[in-house]
Amino acid sequence: MSRRLWGLTTGMGCVTTFGDVTVIATESLSKRFPRVTALDRLSVDVGPGVTGLVGANGAGKSTLIKILLGLSPATEGRAEVLGLDVATKGGAIRERVGYMPEHDCLPPDVSATEFVVHMARMSGLPPAAARERTADTLRHVGLYEERYRPIGGYSTGMKQRVKLAQALVHDPQLVFLDEPTNGLDPVGRDEMLGLIRRVHTDFGISVLVTSHLLGELERTCDHVVVIDGGKLLRSSSTRDFTQTTTTLAIEVTDTDEHPDGTGAVREALLARGVTTHDSSGLPGAGHILLLTAEGEQTYDLVRDVVAELGLGLVRMEQRRHQIAEVFKDSDEQRKEAIGHGG
């Protein structure tokens, strides 16, 4: 390629710009408004990779992003982004960081190309580089011919891609994505999640993505931070969240001898001292048995019981723990706290 590229170098994919350095660090960070406490002594460290920030609406996610961008001073405590103090180095942080807001932020009467070029220049890219990076970035987020048409005619999915492109166009080291899957249909949601994953694996950009949907973060993130009411509930890798215990799901056939195969297995297991869990919340509830696996012997036991009854074992699978359970726990704690308080 003899074409002159304006300050662009070929990336080697999958390289994070900083080894094991902390990307975001907060230390008893608090933000109080006259009537509400948005963040309450939040201390959390976030490393490179894709990090999910989970919390219900009003949990303090957006407030945290605002503080991390250096746009809103913390009431107390301190925070660093890419090793820069948010209180004093806001400008330097915003030069290296991208931000995709939750709400609509695109003017309908300009094309995606024009808009993203303008935003690239606002990030300090020279005109030629801004155009080159815009073309590249829009292609990477999956916008092709339509990028020359006014944004007003785009679908929600395409608009989300433009919003993502403007956050990536200046090749930041870190992007904040605020509810990027909001308003998307299931297919669009999957595509967006795949794209977010690629932002890290292919582009080498660390991601902080907020969501109130836990399932999607489980698939996308390396690390999940859960906040609630401005307080840190939990911060650990996605693997820790989902691998603490194993639940087995079992489905069996019915026979003439045992018209209710599932019930027969349940009773047989009970007779051997193994209780099954309530599976009423799951799809196909009546036909699925849930039990806790306590090692190899549990699998053998199930096999033996099903064979003795002469039933067919349709499936036996490990069911991963859902991050949602973190919330269930916290809800119970909260109820308890309220109970004690009242």
Partner 1 sequence: MAVEQSTARGAEQTRIHNIGYRNYDGPRLGRAYARRSLYSQSLRGAYGLGRSVKSKVLPMLLFVVMCAPALIMVAVAVATKAKDLPVEYTRYAIIMQAIIGLYVASQAPQSVSRDLRFKTVPLYFSRPIETADYVRAKYAALASAMFILTAAPLLVLYVGALLAKLDFEHQTKGFAQALVSVALLSLLFAGISLVIAAATPRRGFGIAAVIAVLTISYGAVSTIQAIADAQSGDSNAIVWMGLFSPVTLIDGVQTAFLGATSSYPGGHGPSAAQGIVHLLVVLGLVAGSYGLLMRRYRKVGL
Which residue ranges make up the site for partner 1 (CB under 8 A)? 1, 5-13, 62, 65-66, 69, 71-72, 91, 94-95, 97-99, 101, 103-110, 114, 118-119, 121-126, 129, 133, 136, 140, 150, 166, 170-171, 202-204
The nearest distance, CB 16 to partner 1, in angstroms, is: 11
Among the listed residues 268, 259, 261, 330, the one whose alpha carbon sits nearest the alpha carbon of residue 305? 268
The nearest distance, CB 192 to partner 1, in angstroms, is: 17
Q: Which is nearer to partner 1, 71 or 337 (CB)?
A: 71
The nearest distance, CB 9 to partner 1, in angstroms, is: 6
The nearest distance, CB 115 to partner 1, in angstroms, is: 9
N- to C-terminal Cα separation, the chain: 72
Q: Which is nearer to partner 1, 135 or 290 (CB)?
A: 135
The nearest distance, CB 298 to partner 1, in angstroms, is: 42
114: amino acid identity, one letter: E
Q: Which is nearer to partner 1, 193 or 323 (CB)?
A: 193
CA contacts within 13 A on the Cβ side of 115: 23
Q: Which is nearer to partner 1, 8 or 314 (CB)?
A: 8
Task: Answer positive or negative: Cα dihedral of 252, 255, 260, 264.
Answer: negative
Q: Which is nearer to partner 1, 43 or 156 (CB)?
A: 156
d(CA 233, CA 108): 40
Q: Which is nearer to partner 1, 167 or 326 (CB)?
A: 167
In this structure, what DSSP letter does residue 111 have? B
The nearest distance, CB 8 to partner 1, in angstroms, is: 5
DSSP string across 276-337: PBP-TTSTTGGG-EEEE--SHHHHHHHHHHHHHHT--EEEEEEEPPPTHHHHHHHHHHHHHH
Q: Which is nearer to partner 1, 110 or 290 (CB)?
A: 110
d(CA 46, CA 40): 18
309: amino acid identity, one letter: L
State both tokens at 161.
């891609």
Q: Which is nearer to partner 1, 66 or 266 (CB)?
A: 66
d(CA 299, CA 291): 10
d(CA 88, CA 98): 18
Across the strands, what pairs with 79?
Answer: 26
The nearest distance, CB 193 to partner 1, in angstroms, is: 18
The nearest distance, CB 121 to partner 1, in angstroms, is: 4
d(CA 339, CA 342): 5
- Phi-psi map region of 70: left, alpha, beta (phi>0 left; psi -120 to 50 alpha): left
